[in-house]
């Protein structure tokens, strides 16, 4: 089935005028689609959710329906008192009234509304952008804080459970191909040494959860700064997008991922490892923005483990990239041989930078 034919199956007025690749995601295929009539134009986002990555892609759409319906009600109820027009993409139904189309290979296709007059950026541009990224994530967490976690299913069981990624790394290392890739690369060997020294630390959040110190809540799952939309005219954040990984979890996963992506000005795709640093000025702005919206529902235990989250999530992503490199690049899209190894090295460098700045980061958190 052609992508153009799939696009025509959604309930959008007019005729298909434009269909082109959109965004820089590492997992899903995403397209910008434009339908036109004699007097109007409607743009929307068409995405393929690969069954090879998400074994039950229907769960993603059920979660997305629950979360967007809940948030749209909250946004509309608070619109008059808000300091901006908050938005969130809406599911576009098919001509038959369904939330998605399934192709012959079992992959799921969904259409969502396009947030116009706003853009996302893979890197934080300035302190105000950092504050807005934190503010948007805090607003999203506030909106879903009263949504029972049991209303959501696990779209990706084990997602952000760091010990599970360690197990995948170990499994890849046990294969002949994994051993060969490790032996052939001094950089891969350096990755492994770095990770092994922090193996015990990888359990910090899961252990706290098992002890009952941290509670399971609805989370976004992938709140990197590139998923925060910034209004072109006002410079304010307007929404967070990419809801594929919405599911129950620890909000620390979200906070750590937002800080990981927002406080590294070099970005995760940089080729210059020496440029990778955890910028504490950006962190202070992002943290301030987040607490402005989320501070009053965080428990003392939540706050106690925030630094551990900031420290852990870059390490976790480094483990994920490294494990995928060892396994032969089966999960993340790559553009050249060794791409996932390079990504892993960036995250390891960022983790090292966080460790070197721990005292300053904790001082910022204590003064917030």
Domains of the chain: 117-367 (3.90.1200.10)
Q: Distance between alpha carbon 278 and the CA centroid of its chain, in Å?
A: 18
Residue 247 has pLDDT above 70, yes or no: yes
Overall average pLDDT of the 143-165 stretch = 94
Q: 16-30, 263-277, 282-296: which has the minimum mean pLDDT? A: 16-30
pLDDT of residue 223: 95
Question: Strand, coil or helix: what is 113?
Answer: strand
Question: Strand, coil or helix: what is 230?
Answer: strand
Residue 1 — pLDDT band, cuts 50, 70, 90? Answer: low
pLDDT of residue 55: 80
Cβ atoms within 10 Å, residue 284: 22
Query: What percent of the chain has a predicted confidence (pLDDT) above 70?
Result: 99
pLDDT of residue 27: 63
pLDDT digits (tens, 9 = 90+) for 287-341: 999 999 998 889 999 999 999 999 999 999 999 999 999 999 998 989 999 999 9
**Sequence-separated (6 or more) residues with CB below 8 Å from residue 210:** none
Q: In degrees, to the nearest 5, what angle opens at C-alpha 250 toward C-alphas 244 and 254?
A: 55
Residue 26 has pLDDT above 60, yes or no: no
What is the residue whose two structure tokens read 């005028």? 17
For 252, the enclosing helix (H) or strand (E) is: helix 251-262
348, 354, 360 from 279: Cα distances, Å:
15, 9, 11
Q: DSSP letter at 227?
A: G
Q: 23-37, 168-182, 210-224: which has the minimum mean pLDDT? A: 23-37
Cβ atoms within 10 Å, residue 4: 12
């Amino acid at each position: 089935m052609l992508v153009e034919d799939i696009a025509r199956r959604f309930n959008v007025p007019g005729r298909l005028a434009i269909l082109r690749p959109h965004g820089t995601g590492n997992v899903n295929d995403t397209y910008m689609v434009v339908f036109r009539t004699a007097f109007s134009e409607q743009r929307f986002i068409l995405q393929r959710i690969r069954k090879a990555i998400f074994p039950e892609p229907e769960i993603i759409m059920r979660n997305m329906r629950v979360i967007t319906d809940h948030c749209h009600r909250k946004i509309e109820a608070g619109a008059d008192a808000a300091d901006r027009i908050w938005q969130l993409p809406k599911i576009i139904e098919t001509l038959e009234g369904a939330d998605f189309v399934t192709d012959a290979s079992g992959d799921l296709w969904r259409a969502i509304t396009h947030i116009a007059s706003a853009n996302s950026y893979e890197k934080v541009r300035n302190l105000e952008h950092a504050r807005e990224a934190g503010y948007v994530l805090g607003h999203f967490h506030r909106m879903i804080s009263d949504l029972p976690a049991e209303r959501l299913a696990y779209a990706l069981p084990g997602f952000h459970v760091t010990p599970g990624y360690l197990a995948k790394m170990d499994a890849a290392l046990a294969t002949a191909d994994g051993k060969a890739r490790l032996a052939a690369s001094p950089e891969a060997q350096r990755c492994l040494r770095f990770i092994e020294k922090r193996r015990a630390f990888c359990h910090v959040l899961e252990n706290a959860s098992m002890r009952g110190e941290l509670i399971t809540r609805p989370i976004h799952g992938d709140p990197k700064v590139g998923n925060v939309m910034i209004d072109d005219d006002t410079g304010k954040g307007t929404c967070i997008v990419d809801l594929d990984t919405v599911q129950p979890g620890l909000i620390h996963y979200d906070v750590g991922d937002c800080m990981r992506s927002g406080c590294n000005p070099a970005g995760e795709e940089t080729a210059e490892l020496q440029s990778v640093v955890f910028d504490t000025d950006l962190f202070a702005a992002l943290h301030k923005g987040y607490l402005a919206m989320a501070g009053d529902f965080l428990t003392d235990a939540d706050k106690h483990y925030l630094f551990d989250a900031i420290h852990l999530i870059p390490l976790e992503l480094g483990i994920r990239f490294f494990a995928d490199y060892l396994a032969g690049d089966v999960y993340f899209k790559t553009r050249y041989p060794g791409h996932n190894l390079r990504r892993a090295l960036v995250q390891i460098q960022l983790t090292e930078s966080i460790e070197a700045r721990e005292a300053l980061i904790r001082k910022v958190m204590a003064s917030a």
